[in-house]
Structure 1
Amino acid sequence: MANTLSCIEPKYMVAFTVNQMNKSIHLEDGQIRKDRLQHLELAAVMGAGQGFLPIYAVFAISAVIIIHPAVSRAIAGLWVSFYLIYTVVRTIATSLYHEDANRERPLRVREWRRFVFFSAFTHGVILGSLAIIALPVLDPARQLVLTAFVLIITTGAVMYVSAVLPALLVLVSASLLPYTAFWYFRPSDSEMPVAAFLLAVWIISLLMSFMHHNAGSRLFCLVADNEILVKTLEEKNRQLEIADRERLQLLAVTSHDLRQPVHALGLILAHASEHDDVKSIGKHFEKMKDISNLISEMLLELMDLSMLDYEKNEKRIEEVSLTSILMQLKASQEPVAKRKGISLSIRSEQEIWVLADAGLLRRMLLNLISNAIKYTTIGSVEIECNLKDGHVFITVKDTGIGIPSERFEEIFDPFVRLDPKVEERDSVGLGLSIVRRAALMQGFKIQVSSTIGKGSVFELCVPLVMNPRSSHEIKMERFDFPPSREVLIAVVDDDFFAREALVMLLQNWGYSTVSAESLSSLKKALNITQKPMLIIADNHLSPVEFGSDAINAVRERFNDFLIPGIVVTGDANVMINGLSHVEIAHK
C-alpha cells in the first residue's frame, strides 16, 4: 500500500521558524513562572493553616462567652456548630492538600485556590453573622467587646491569607462591613465614631492587604525565578551530558569508519610498491582516488555537523538560483548514478529562485540525492520542483529499498544506516541528520513517505522568490575560467606540501600560477607578475595573517576590488565579512 505525503504524522515533520521557536520559548517560560508563583502563594496560605484548629476553637469559645446570655442557647449553639464544622473542614482540607501528590500542577493549583477563596468567604460570613444575631441584643459594652474581638481576628488574617489576595479581600469585607453597617444605622453621638472607625479600619486593612501581598509576591517571584534558574541549569547540564555522550559516540563511530579506508589505503600503497608495471599502478591509483574521495566525504559530513551544532553560526539567507544548484548537483551525481545503472533526472519547467542559505541548501539537496542513489539498485532517482502558495516543493523520489514507517523519525538521527547490507559505505551516517538540522536553522519543512520495496519520497518546502532581482544585481559567486596559460591564479598557503600540490594541480589543468607562503612574499611576487584572475588563500597564514588579508593585498596592488577569491579553511565556523566576491572552501 503506497504512502502519501499527506498522511505523514506531525511528529515526523520538521516545520518551525527560528522566530516562532524563540517566541514560543519566551511564552512558555512566562507561563511556567506564573504557575509557579500561584503555587507558592497557595502553599504559604495552606501551610499557615495547619495549626489553626486549636486557635479556631478558642475563637469559638471566646465568642460564646461574649454573646452569652443575651443570645439564646439554641442560636449560640447553632453558630458554634457552624464555626466548628467550618474549622474541621478547613483542617481536613489542609491535610488533604499536603497529601496531594499533584498539588503543584497548574490545574490543581487553580482548584485549591478556589477552595481558599470560598473558605475565606465562609469564615468572613460566619464572623460577620454575629453582627446580625448578637449585636442587636447585647449591651453597649459587650457590643464594643464583640466588635473589637472580630476586628482583632480580621486583622490577624491579613498576615496569613495575604498571599492569596482575593481570599483576603473577601474575608476582610465579609467580616467588617456588617459591623460597620450596624454601628452606622444606629446613630448617636457615641456610636457614629465607632462606624467611622470601623470604616477606616476596613480601608486600612484593604491597603495593608495590597501592601502585604505585594511584598510577599516579590519574595515569591524571587523564589520562582530561582527555581526556574535551577531547573534551567539542570536542563542545560542534562543537554551537555547528552551532547558529551553524542560526541563520544561520534568519535568512536568516525574513528572506526575512518580506520577502514585508511587501512585499505595503506594496503594498496604496500601492494603498489611491489609492482612497477604501469597498468597495475594505474589501477592502484584509481582505488586510492576512490578512497581519498571517501575520506574527504566523511570529513566533510563531520564539518557540516560541527557547523550546524555551533550556536553562533550565522546563516546567510538570500536569493538563490535553485535551478543552478540542481544543475550543478546533477552534473556531480549523474556519473555516480550511471555507475550503478540507474537514471538521474530533474524536472523543472522554469528558472526558480528561492530564499535560502546557498551553502546549506546545496548540502541538503546533495545529501538527499546521494542517499537516494545509495539505496537504489534498480530504477531511477527523480528530482521535481512544484510551485504552490509562494513556496517551492522540491521532491526527491527514488525506487530504492524503502523505509519502514516506524523508522521515519529515526532516520534523521546521527549514525543511522537503513540497510547494513549496503556495501557503499561512503559516509558516517550523518547525511539526513545534517538535512534536518539545516532545515531547522532555515525554517524549512521536510516530509517523508515511503513504500517498502518500491521507494521513498523526500519533500523539502522552501520559500519562493516571486520577482528575483536581475542578474546584474545578483552577483553569482561562480569562478569558472577556461583552462589557459593566460589565466593567472595566485595561491597563498603557509603549508609547503598543500601549496605545491595545489599549484601542480592548477598547472596540470592548464592555468598559470604564482604562489607564496606569506603576505610579504606574496607582495614581492606580485611586483613582477600580471594581475591574477583568481586568488586562492589559506585562512590561517600565520597567527596575525589571514586569507582575507592576502585577497585584500592582491586587490589593492592592482586597484581591482572585484578580483574573485577563495578562502580555504578547515574551520567549519569561519565567516568572511566585509569582502565581496569571496567564497569559503572547506578542506
Structure 2
Amino acid sequence: MTEGTITTPIQRAQAPREEVDLRLIELLAEQNRRVPLPVALLMVLVAGLGLRVLPDWIPAAWLALALGMLLVRWRLLAALPLQVDRSAADRVRTAGFMSLASGCTLGLTLFAFPMLDETERSFITLLTLGLATGAVGTTAGRSSLFLPYVVPMAAPLPLLWAIHPGPAQSGWIDLSIGLLLLLYLWVLAGLANNAWRNFTESVQIRYHERALNEQLTEALEQANQANLAKTRFLAAASHDLRQPLHTIGLLVAALSLRQTEGRDREVVDLLSQVSADLSEQLDQLLDISKLDAGVLKPVYKMVDLGEMLRMHHAEMRAVIEARGLRVVLDAPTGVRCRTDPTLLLRVLRNLTDNAAKFTERGAVTLRLRVEGGTARISVEDTGRGIPAGEQEMVFEEFYQVGNPERDRSKGLGLGLSIVRRLSKLLGIGVDLHSDADRGTTVTLAVPLHGQADALPQAREPARVHSFAGRTVLVVDDERSVRIGMRVLLEELGCSCLEASCGEEALRHARGRKPDVILADLRLRNGETGIDVISQVVAAVGATPSLLISGDTAPDRLQEAQRAGIKLLHKPVGLPALQGELARMLGAPARRLG
C-alpha cells in the first residue's frame, strides 16, 4: 500500500442485541400459534394417568392450572411483537417468566412419579423429553427461555429413576435409565446452545445483507444525484456559452453574406471556422443532454454503408490531410442495412476525428467488411495507442489519454462516450483494440437486417431562398442576441420585430402580424418561448414558430418535444436558419450553379 492510500473493505455489520431480540420475539410468536393444541391434548392424557393413583380433585386442579397457564402463555407471546412501546429485552424477559411458569406447572406431574408403574413412568418420561426437545426449536435455544422451561420439568427425572426403583426391583436398570436421561439432557443443552448460535448468526447475516443493501441503495442514489448534477451543470454551462456564441455566429453569418475581399474575407472565414469549432464542442455537450433526456430517437432508413463511408471520407479528407496524415478508404458498395444514417455518421465523425487528433504521423483508414450477417466498419489509426488499463476508461465522459494540459484542440473527452451511447441506441456493437505505439482500431458491428423499397435519394443541390418582405418576430431576453438576429435577418431581406418578453411580443404582433416567430425557450421571470408563442397565436392566429435555445437540460428538451414546436440549439448556423425559414414560409428558391 502506498503512502496516502486508504482502503475501506466492506466489513460485516454486527447486528445489535436489540435486533436479535426482535427476531427472537417474532419466532416465539410464530411458534406459539402451533404449540398450544397438541400440548393441551398431552396435558389431558397426563391428567388421566393421575386419576388412577391420586384423588380426582388433584388431577382436575392440575389440568385446570396447566390449561390456564397455556392460555395465558399463548396470549402473552402473541402480543409481544405488537408491544413496540417496550424494549425487546424487556419483552424477552416476559417470555422467560412464562417459560419458567410453564416448566414448573408441567414439573408438578413428577410428584406422582413414585406411584406410577413402569409403563406409566416410561410414558411420562418420553412425554417430558419430547417437550424438552421441542423447546430447542420453539425457543431457538436461548438459555434464558430454554433452561427455565426444561430444568423444572425434566431435570428431576434422572434422580427419580435412580431413587425410586420399579416393582420388579431391577435397580440397576432404573439407575441406567437415570444416567441415560442425564446424558440426554446434557446433549440437549448442547444442541440448544448450537441452535442459539446458529440463530444469532442467521440474524447477523440478514442484518449485514440489509445494511449492505441500504449502503448500495444510498450509493446508487448518490450516483444518480451526481449524474443529475452533472447534467444540470452541462446544461447550464452549455446555455451560458451558447448565448454569446450564438450572437457571434449571427454577426459572422451576416458578414459572410456581404461582398468582402482580401484580408476582410480572410478574417470573416477565420471567425466562421472558430465559431464552427466551438459550436461542434458544444454540440457534444448537447448530445449528452439529449441522451440523458431520452429525446434522441433513431429514424431508420435503408442505407448503403459503402456509399456512406465514401461520403464520410470525402467530408473528412481535407481535415485529416491538413494534419499531415494520409486517409485511406477500403469500402465496397452494395452493403445495405437499416439504420439511422444521421446518428451513424455522427458516430463515424467522432471516431474519425478522434483518430486524427491523436495520430501524429501515418494514416487514418476507413474499412468496411461483411462477416455473416454483420457489417464491420473499422476506423484505424497509426497513433500512440491506448494503454490496456485505460481502454475501457476512454469511453467515460471527459476522460482523455495523454492530455493532462487539456489541450482544447483535442476536444472535451466526450467523443467516445457519445460513440458508445449512440451505438447502444442503434443496436451496434463497439470493439476497441489498441497496441502501444502501433495505433488503435475501433470496430462497429452493424447488423444487416431489414428491407426497404429504395435507398435514400441523392442530396438536393444547395438552394438560395428569398425572404424579401417577410416579417419575423424575434423573442429573446438577451439584447445582443436580438441585435445579431436582426442584422442577419435584414441581410436575408426580412423585416424584424424584437421583443424581450411576452408582453412586448403581443404588442408587436397585434400591431403587425408576423409571418414567423423565432423565440428563445427560456426567458426571464419564469416565462418560456412556448408560453409566448401560445399567447401570440391566441391573439393573432396560427403562426409558424421555431424555438431557438441554448438550454440543453433534459427536462427542457422534453418540454419542447411535448409542445410540438421544433427546437434548434444555439448557435444556429446560417444554412440551418435559412432552411427552417424556407420550411415555415414556403419561400421560393433557386438552385446554385
Q: Which has the larger radius of gyration?
A: 2
| TM-score normalised according to structure 2 size | 0.48
Normalization by structure 1: what TM-score? 0.48
